[in-house]
Amino acid sequence: MQQIRFPQNEFQSFEAPMRAEVDIRGLEVVQGKVPEHLDGGFYRLLGDRQWPSFTENDIFLLNEDGMASCLRISNGRVDFRTRYVRTPRFVAEEQAGRALFGAYRNPFTDNPSVQGVRRGTANVTMLSHAGKFFALKEDSPPVEMDPFTLETIGEYTFGGDFTSEACTAHPKIDPRTGELVFFGYCAKGPATKDIAYYEADRNGKIIHETWFEAPYTCMVHDIMVTQNYVVFPITPLRHEYEWLEKREPAFKYDTSEQVHLGVLPRKGTANQIRWFVGPNQCHGHTVGAYDDGRYIYADNTLSVRSFFPFFPNADGSPFDPEDTKPYMKRWVIDMGSEGDTFTERQLLQYPCELPRIDTRFETQPYSFCALNLLDVPGQDRVGGGWQWIATMDVTGKKPTRIRYAGDNCSISEPQFVPAHDGAAEGEGYVLVVVGRHDEMRSEFLILDAQNIDGPPIATVALPMRVRSTGHGFWYGKRQLMGETHLLGAN
């Protein structure tokens, strides 16, 4: 009989696999009061393996089964629910009672019995658009789910109009039109240069599709979208087919390659793309982006090398934690020039990641941003992970406010929620889940977005630990029902 044993690595103790689907009605509010007009869900997509991997040194952070979670808020009450995303991969392994898929993004390492079965784990983030709800992972098409029960409906291809092999986990919704702007890289399969760019209207129908090739194969995790342009960051976290064949890591960082920014007009065609080049660096996530007709302003988190230690440097040089620290920078692209370069400047002195803006200002000039900090000069960090959360004004007109969540804790990606439909930018709440590692439990904080360093509006206790995750989204009930495309409190 097979013995179930997970490897003793860094994903133990607080970060050990949960392997449990839970329903908890009426979480305890241990401090403050949950605003009664909030009506919606704070959705987070976790990685949580149902079976231990059979590959050596597997990437547990990225190569785990997707577990959808929802903190459902209504009438001042908070319920908690988790469900596995029942992808083709999950179902195949569930039926077999063991892992069948091998190393991250490498089909050559799979059990022969699952050849041709979709490998995606649907474990990055959730999307609500046009009354439909999806779990996303950038190597596969979206997986539709029920936003209230979290039951899996199945793979979604927009009525057959989505033909890419992959879909980004970071699409953007244009708040002016309700259009969904999204793409897939490696769109024709692993380690292919093809990128497929799509726009869907506010009713969820694809209205535009364009395919083009990147200068080289790499991870394209996020994009920048303005009212007139889409910017595709091609940064050298390379992805080569020969590495897959040799059973080497699917991604390696190439220190010799330049950054290429592909700028395409919204609803443009491949022959309209312009390429701009800049110095070597690794792209993390988009903060926000906008244009003024000539200049594109694109804010991002960027590091000297890949943030992930399990993606080695292609030249064999050792992993240096200092080089992996991401900083927020602004790229400025002059579309009126005949040149092929861009400029950049740093916006925040602290290493930071997981930035979130008031998405009512997506594609437009903006100022408010909530994000996590890795280090704060003069303050000691006890334990690993992101332990500070901050709000900042990217224009520099307001001071950055910082909250220390505590020793030996981990903070999830923050989410901004406007106080009401007519709220000013940044007026509202910041939602965040904090893992208390010493106590083996988690808590849900509702913070005042304008006073993030003040007392929480509410602290909600989870009577269990909830594993760390990269991304989370708040969706009001009206948005979940397809009644609006705008971020709202309800």
Residue 331's beta-bridge partner residues?
Answer: 298, 344
Q: Any known ligand binding at 285?
A: yes
CA angle 477, 462, 11 (to 5 degrees): 105
Measured CA to CA, the distance from residue 438 to residue 385 in angstroms comes to: 13
Q: Which of 349, 462, 377 is nearest to 412 (CA)?
A: 462
Residues in CB range of 290: below 8 A, 6 or more apart: 226, 227, 296, 297, 363, 364, 365, 366
Contact 423, 443 (CB under 8 A): no
Q: Which two tokens stand for residue 91?
A: 């179902």
Alpha helices in 35-145 (DSSP H): 88-96
Annotated ligand binding at 129? The verdict is: no
| Rounded-to-integer distance, Cα 89 and Cα 140, Å | 11
Phi and psi torsions of 92, nearest 5°:
-60, -40
Query: Exposed, middle or buried: residue 469 (CB in 10 Å: 0-12, 13-18, 19+)?
Result: buried
Dihedral (CA of 220, 179, 416, 84) sign: negative
Instruction: Compute the CA torsion angle 53, 55, 57, 60 (nearest 10 deg).
Output: -30
Measured from the Cβ of residue 343, the count of other Cβ atoms closer than 10 Å reads 11
Please tell me the distance from the alpha carbon of residue 126 to that of residue 458, in angstroms, as a whole number: 24
In the block, which residue shows the tokens 């969540």? Answer: 405
Question: What is the biggest distance separating any 2 CA atoms in the chain, rounded to whole angstroms?
Answer: 68
Q: Which residues contact 301 (CB under 8 A, 6 or more apart)?
A: 283, 284, 285, 287, 326, 327, 328, 329, 352, 353, 355
In the three-class reduction of DSSP (H, G, I as helix; E, B as strand; rest coil), residue 396 is classed as coil
208 marked as part of a ligand binding site:
no
Residue 471 marked in a binding site: yes
> Following CA atoms 415, 367, 399, 371 in sequence, which dihedral angle do they give, to the nearest 10 degrees?
30
Tokens of 196: 């497929």
Residues linked to residue 289 through DSSP beta bridges, in sequence order = 298
Angle at CA of residue 291, ends 288 and 296, nearest 5°: 80
Can you say which residues are annotated as belonging to the binding site for Fe cation? 170, 221, 285, 471
Can you say which residues are annotated as belonging to the binding site? 170, 221, 285, 471
